[in-house]
Amino acid sequence: MPLCNTCRDSLENVWDSASTRRVGFLSEWVDEFSDVMGSEEAFSALLARLGDCEEDSLGMYLEPERHIYSHHSSRASWEASRDLGCLVCQDLSPETSGEQNISGRLQRSGWYSVFALSLTGAPFMFILSGGSSEAFGFDPVGTAHNLNFNLGPSTSSPQTWDLIQKWTHDCNSHHPECHASRRTDFMPSRTLELDPAAQTYRLVLATEVPRGTRYITLSHCWGSLAGRTDVLMLTRTTLPQLRTARPVASLPPTFQDAFDIAARFRIRHLWIDRLCIVQDSAADWAAEAASMHDIYKHPYLNVSALGASDDQGGCFRTRDPATMAPAAVRLRTACDGISDDYALRRDAAGPEWYNEWLAQPLIRRAWIVQERLLPARVLHFGSRQVFWECMTVRACETSPRYLWDGPPLEREMGDAAGAGGAAREWKRLIEIPNFPADSLGSRAARLLAEWGEHVAVYSGCKLTVAGDRLVALSGLARDMQQRLEGVGVSSTAYCAGLWKCDLPGSLLWHKRPGHVPPAPPTAYRAPSWSWAAVDGGVSGVGGGGAGWGGDGTLLAEVLRAETTARGADQLGPVSGGTLTLCAPLATVRQGGLVEEDVNTCYGPRGILFTSLVGTTRDDEQVELCQEKEHLETQRNGLFDGCDVFPDWEDSCSLEGRLFCLPVEMTESEVELGGSGRSTRWLRYRGLVLTQSEGSSGLNAYRRVGFFFIDFGSEYCNVVEKFFHSLSRTEVNII
């Protein structure tokens, strides 16, 4: 959305009191601005900081933060800007507050709306209008060249295609990494061949296509097929008719648009899963699923019908270019500084392009993750604009050079800094922030960390068939296996979504807040120690931790890790799996739900184990508990409690016998509240287990959750002594 002249001129001239009128000091408007600028404590701290700098040279830098500035002079002025679609003015709603709530100070100022600024750190604009107030953040855009105001009335307009051609030309000419792994001699077993002159298509076999022919793939949402009689798909019955020429116009809109896009690239072959896999043949489906790696790895381009929820939505959308224009402003944050380019956003939201991206239907489909990561480049047709995603550049129509989501660019850095960020093994997905790859050392560690990122994205997406949780990732797993082999990893065995070379560290996955399912799946999908065994989003898979030279000490040793493939594909679905660890094991004696509103680094606290017991190597019983009377005893100690995050609701209730198996311990020095002194800090992370029902072995367990213990100062020795005194035992987890 654009900015009106009032907003833009006021912001760009805050250092010039003759241009942007100052109507008072912030300290005089405490009642009006304290809520929108945070809590009263935060507002008081800001005023104190400004006051401390009055006699200091820093006062020059903070000068605009001291004042309240004029904005709209009248209601008519505000309404005109609102009706023009100004991002800021459209979000204001002074009329909903009622005349009785309008600030007397605002009325006496003679202005309809006023604003304040915070320029320290991430800049913010705070507006008071009527009895309501709003906050807007400023996102750096890198350079003015990364703002595009030349937008057409649809995503198939000439302006859009000019930009697509530029992205493609730049990628072909300047991105060697986007071509390094693509095989030009590969062709899927079936594709749809377009006859541009007749505007017809037919299904052809790879053996009928000349070697080196280029093809394009399509990512799309199937949508609900229930009750529809017009759904065209490849079956044993429709195979003969699809082998003969049919009009492109007979296809659903999304497929028609995909042919249009292919034709613009002068490419005649298109691969669409629904029309190129025999849908009523389990054998063909399994064979093609195992080939997904090659199918999506080697197209000239993958086209994504990002904004369509089914085959009727199409790839192209009409739009009002005026509402798409960036809300751009040049803002100077220091008196001796140079103005930087920013785009305004609503306080609670991210950049406009980011919120658009997350709202697209296709992003929520699990299959799309590997369909984006495997091809070197993807062209996404969204509901409002087009996005580009390749190995080197992520961009969109409104930010055509790169999507900048980091801190402001250093002035001497070029566009490439914003485009690529740190080196990566796979392409950086649009929704994943810049990744500190350099801190991980080896390429293998980076690969495992990126695998964890992608699993985090994938696991939060939806599958029509829940049993496809491993199938829909098998193509990416095959690519990962080849990459691990390429960087010299000796053991590249795949264990139901985890890599044997990254065990036991990758066992420390946990459910994300809001993603804890009510119950485990009714049908078997994976062993309990795999994230694929449960529904919903997870974090913490992989990361090149202690096992790859990272921080931490492993407390568990992997003796055996194996899975049984359900079919011929060793990277696909599994029918069973066993993990054997040698590790300390503690029994949970006491715990319960936590009612207090405590937020931990892994999400809101839900369950706290307050007492753990175990057996030492000398066969003595020891206890770790929360009760203070145990602090001075010789064998027992005090600790804050063990935070537990269940794999599904009630999986960690004390109705069954539970155990804690620590996997990793990390140690750090934490500064004590700016005092200059530090204290030793330990964190234990591990698995919550329960004994397996019906198991023949006494030491057979299932995973039901994740735990961590975070503590410092006097608790360190107590907790460390407890875990390190426990005897190590072989534990089989199924």
CB-CB contact of 630 with 637 (8 Å): yes
Higher pLDDT: 219 or 440? It is: 219
Residues 259/201, Cβ–Cβ less than 8 Å: yes
Q: What pLDDT was estimated at residue 413?
A: 30
| pLDDT, tens only, 3-50 | 899 999 999 999 988 899 999 998 888 888 877 776 556 666 666 666
Query: Shortest CA distance to 75 belongs to which of 105, 106, 104?
Result: 106
In the DSSP assignment, the letter for residue 59 is H
Q: Which of 308-312, 499-503, 588-592, 632-636 has the lowest mean pLDDT?
A: 632-636
Category of 726 on φ-ψ map: left (φ > 0), alpha (ψ -120 to 50) or beta: beta
- Among all chains, which residue has been given the structure tokens 């990893």? 489
Tell me which amino acid residue 217 is: T
Q: Which two tokens stand for residue 214?
A: 């280029």
Give the integer Cα–Cα distance in Å for 326 and 148. 7
DSSP 546: G
Which of helix, strand or coil describes residue 247?
strand
3-state secondary structure of 619: coil
**What's the token pair of residue 449?**
């960390």
In single-letter form, the type of residue at position 526 comes to A
Residue with tokens 């330990």: 682
Report how far residue 622's alpha carbon sits from residue 306's, in angstroms, rounded to the nearest whole number.
57
CA distance 283 to 272: 18
E runs forming strands in 39-109: 67-70
Q: What is the pLDDT of residue 664?
A: 94
Determine the Cα–Cα distance for residues 64 and 58; give it in Å rounded to an integer: 12
What's the CA gap between 384 and 359, in Å, rounded? 11
Q: pLDDT, tens digit, for every residue of 568-614? A: 899 999 999 999 999 999 999 876 655 545 566 666 666 888 889 99
Q: Would residue 489 be called left, alpha or beta, if left means φ above 0 and alpha means ψ between -120 and 50 degrees? A: beta
Residue 597: the pLDDT is 55
Tokens 């298109």 found at: 270
pLDDT at 269: 99
**418: pLDDT confidence band, cut at 50, 70 and 90?**
very low
Structure-block tokens of residue 383? 């509901």
**Calpha distance 219→673 (Å, rounded):** 51
Q: What is the rounded radius of gyration, in angstroms, for the C-alpha atoms of the chain?
A: 29
Sequence-ordered list of residues with C-beta below 8 angstroms from that of 706, at least 6 positions apart, any chain: 508, 509, 510, 511, 540, 602, 644, 645, 647, 685, 686, 687, 688
CA separation, residue 491 to residues 39, 136, 452 (Å): 53, 50, 18
pLDDT for the residue 648: 93
Give 196-216 as a DSSP string: TTTTEEEEEEGGGS-TT--EE
Evaluate if residue 706 carries a pLDDT over 90. Answer: yes
Q: What sign for the dihedral angle of Cα 238, 244, 246, 251?
A: positive
Q: Is the peptide bond before 504 cis (omega within 30 degrees of 0)?
A: yes
Residue 665 Cα to chain centre, angstroms: 27
Contacts of 717 (CB under 8 A, 6+ apart): none
What is the mean predicted confidence (pLDDT) over 236-260?
Answer: 98
d(C-alpha 210, C-alpha 213), whole Å: 6
* pTM for this model (two decimals): 0.85
266-315 pLDDT per residue, tens: 999 999 999 999 999 999 999 999 899 999 999 999 999 999 999 999 99
Instruction: Compare 248 and 490 and report the one with higher pLDDT.
Output: 248
Residue 127 vs residues 10, 280, 315, 565, 581: alpha-carbon distances, Å: 12, 60, 38, 60, 58
Q: Is the pLDDT of residue 415 over 50?
A: no
State pLDDT tens for residues 49-105.
665 555 444 444 457 888 999 999 999 999 999 998 898 998 887 765 445 556 788
In percent, how much of the chain has pLDDT > 70? Answer: 83
What is the torsion angle, in degrees rounded to the nearest 10, for the CA atoms of residue 245, residue 247, residue 253 and residue 259?
Answer: 60
**Paired residues of 202 in beta bridges:** 193
Residue owning tokens 């929520």: 364
Report strand pairing: 636-638 vs 621-625: parallel
Question: Using alpha carbons only, what angle is made at residue 494 by residues 490 and 499, rounded to the nearest 5 degrees?
Answer: 70
pLDDT at 419: 43
| CB of 455 closer than 8 Å to CB of 370 | no
> Cα separation of 511 and 535, whole Å?
9
Among 34-43, 117-126, 611-620, 686-695, where is mean pLDDT lowest? 34-43
pLDDT at position 688 is 95
Categorize the per-residue pLDDT at 123 as very low, low, confident or very high, splitting at 50, 70 and 90. confident
Q: Identify which of 264, 234, 236, 268 has the alpha carbon closest to the alpha carbon of residue 251.
A: 234
- 8 A C-beta contact, residue 341 and residue 147: yes
pLDDT at 629: 43
Dist CA 431 CA 688 (whole Å): 31
For residues 709 and 642, the answer to whether their CB atoms sit within 8 Å is: yes
Q: What sections of 191-319 are H helices per DSSP? A: 239-242, 253-264, 273-276, 282-290, 292-297
SS3 at position 500? helix
Average pLDDT, the chain: 86
Task: Please determine, for residue 377, whether its predicted confidence score (pLDDT) is greater than 60.
Answer: yes
Alpha helix (H) ranges present in 359-433? 368-373, 415-420
